[in-house]
Copies of this chain bind each other. A is one copy, B any other.
């Protein structure tokens, strides 16, 4: 069959895309291998040929998502004014934001396979944020905080706004609110 001509790498990418959608809709625990398989025209058992367990599929989704989040590059090179644009960009991708937010919420439950991933990720994001802030402002921001104090707040605002926005996009202007916060950090 012509469709079967797709190389293995493409098939895996298709599956990851489908998994991202299904997780956005139902979370990881609520997602089923069957639902993901159906979206790519495979049986559930056919899908297990590419990812041997449901957990392996989640891990692959997380690894890919972490790259997307940084726009392909590292967060290392970021500048503060790019953060606002990142939030603009996220506001155009509700599906991705929803996958991420659903997984973050689930990850605090016991034995969740994404827990270690998120713990590690946040430690890293806080460090990178602090370093971006230090590059911009030095050891003390105009608002009075140190980069290390501001970093967890910056991260918290991004995540917290995402939930409010996902639940009620009409009422919450996520990018504007985030810029308000950036203004607060940088106001002298």
How many Å lie between the Cα of A75 and that of B75 in the bound state?
Answer: 39
Contact B181 A143 (CB under 8 A): no
Give the residue among A24, A122, A123, A167 with the most B Cβ atoms within 10 A: A167
Q: Which of A11-19, A41-49, A130-138, A152-160 contacts B (4 or more CB under 8 A)?
A: A152-160
Given the known interface contacts A143-B143, A161-B156, the answer about A167 and B122 at a Cβ–Cβ threshold of 8 Å is yes
Q: How many monomers of this protein are in the complex? A: 2
Point out the residue from B105, B115, B145, B168 that lies within 8 Å of A184, measured CB to CB.
B145
Contacts of A78 in B (CB 8 A): none
Contact B109 A143 (CB under 8 A): no
> With an 8 A cutoff between CB atoms, is A104 at the interface?
yes
Point out the residue from B102, B150, B157, B164 that lies within 8 Å of A105, measured CB to CB.
B102
| Tally of contact residues, A, Cβ under 8 A | 51
Closest to A125 in B: B164
Contact B152 A161 (CB under 8 A): yes
Given the known interface contacts A29-B27, A160-B157, A160-B159, the answer about A180 and B149 at a Cβ–Cβ threshold of 8 Å is yes
How many Å lie between the Cα of A157 and that of B178 in the bound state?
Answer: 11
Nearest-CB distance from A80 to chain B (Å)?
16
> With an 8 A cutoff between CB atoms, is A183 at the interface?
yes
20 A-B residue pairs with Cβ-Cβ distance under 8 Å, sorted by A, are A24-B109, A25-B109, A26-B109, A27-B29, A98-B108, A105-B163, A108-B163, A118-B163, A118-B167, A143-B184, A145-B184, A149-B177, A152-B164, A152-B177, A153-B157, A156-B159, A156-B161, A156-B177, A157-B160, A159-B163
